Amino acid sequence: MSTGLVSQDTIVALATSPGVNGAIAVIRLSGSQAITITNAVFKGKDLLNQHTHTIHFGTIRDGEEIIDEVLISLFKGPHSYTKEDVVEISTHNSKYIIERLIALLIKKGARAAQAGEFTLRAFLNGGMDLSQAEAVADLIASENKASHEIAMNQMRGGISNKLQEMREQLINFTALLELELDFGEEDVEFADRAQFEALVQELKVHIAKLIQSFAYGNAIKHGVPVAIIGKPNAGKSTLLNTLLDEERAIVSDIAGTTRDTIEESINLDGITFRFIDTAGLRETTDTIEAIGITKAKEKVRQAKVLLYLYDDKDSTADEVIAQVKELYYDGLIVILVRNKIDLQGGYHSNEMDTAITDVLFTNYSDSLVAISAKDSESVERLKEVLLDKIRGMAVEDQQIITNTRHVEALKQALEALGQVEEGLGILLPGDLLAHHVRTALRHISSITGDIDVDRDILGTIFGKFCIGK
């Protein structure tokens, strides 16, 4: 990584969330002059003579004017988040005080930090690799237990460690392949082709699993979109209200009450689900209702899970089968939900269930749950099935990919490794094999930043961070 990307400026920003009610705000500085600049406005101990990882009480002054009483935390590089000298000023959470302090520090020589610049410096100074830096943003944005755990694992190097291991193995073989070029006239092989092929196959399997994990990771990161769909009066709005434990959607015996989609999120055992109540599917001449039905079908295309509601009083097996087939796309999780069992004699399976599952369980679904949407205890069974389906997307102890940039790089690496494997099969010369290996290496290394990363790419990545991080 070119050190030219590392600014020599000392930067400053509010590190805590602006506009949030609370007693304390933290202002952060990082850079070679962080302690000197702070010391110039601090009345208390001489900060230049204090040890790292110490806290000091005093006042911040503009001339003789006291702006606030503060606590100063010192972190001397390289033992800090950015690997530079870092100062954190804990002050009272007043907009006026915060603005005065930052303006004063800028006046003394600091510069306002750009979005993500503290973490960018941590990356450029070797404090973390690029995938770990991106995980910091995911950790800040995590809204549930599952996304927090994934981000924390990535930030601690969960993905990086395995990628680094793969990278080193490929580098070793590339070196041997290229060494063969120096002995081309002697027709020697330093790289054992059988061992190399076994390694390539092993790496392809692992990368394929990482790519596969993205479906789960992305759903967890952004919340699992669940479309509730079915004919009018199937009980979709009642189910949404029971799931939310509040009267969010209008429930009526009049068909076509829901004209637009209604979206609400709930947390089930650490996973966020975004439930979408949609207009009932039917033929209609009502222009507004027809628009709602079109939007309902669009929402299914955006969903990860489809809850298809029906009851055997108002639907036939052929209708259910036809609608599910029409709505289905590859990768969609379909859960069939027979509703209104309180009116139909209970939970036991019936002939309609059998007719539906005989057709749909082959390629479209493998779950049928009988419920009464009015009964919260009954709906608990549906929640359990829903959780099992999402958890089933993840492999135990598997690293989880949540970043689109990472998954695209892995796909390109997998393609390059496929070319290596094909080359081994046709006895491709070592120099051409090495070219494909280097291509795979470049894509793997782009995830962790172990190669030169374009400034525009870094700007895109870190520009998504909040100011102060």
Q: Is 237 annotated as a binding residue?
A: yes
CB proximity list for 345: less than 8 A, separation 6 or greater: none
Q: Is 135 annotated as a binding residue?
A: no
Q: Is 258 annotated as a binding residue?
A: yes
Q: Across the beta sheet with 86-92, what order do the strands follow?
A: 42-43, 54-62, 65-75, 86-92, 24-30, 11-14, 111-112
Q: What is the distance between the alpha carbons of residues 421 and 201, in angstroms, rounded to a whole number? A: 8
Whose CA is closest to 414, among 202, 257, 129, 218? Answer: 202
What is the per-residue DSSP string for 430-469?
HHHHHHHHHHHHHHHHHHHT-S---HHHHHHHHTTSPTT-
Q: Is 215 annotated as a binding residue?
A: no
Q: Is 296 annotated as a binding residue?
A: no
Q: Is 253 annotated as a binding residue?
A: yes
Contact 437, 420 (CB under 8 A): yes
Q: Is 91 annotated as a binding residue?
A: no
Q: Is 279 annotated as a binding residue?
A: yes
Q: Is 194 annotated as a binding residue?
A: no
Q: Is 233 annotated as a binding residue?
A: yes
Helix, coil or strand: residue 37:
helix
- Residue 109's Cβ-side half-sphere holds a number of Cα atoms within 13 Å equal to 15
Q: Is 187 annotated as a binding residue?
A: no
- The two structure tokens encoding residue 75: 């972190």
Q: Is 294 annotated as a binding residue?
A: no
Q: Is 257 annotated as a binding residue?
A: yes
Q: Is 255 annotated as a binding residue?
A: yes
Residues at the binding site for K(+) are 233, 252, 254, 257
User: Where is the binding site, in residues?
Assistant: 233-238, 252-258, 277-280
**Binding site as annotated, residues for GTP:** 233-238, 252-258, 277-280
Q: Which residues are annotated as a binding site for Mg(2+)?
A: 237, 258
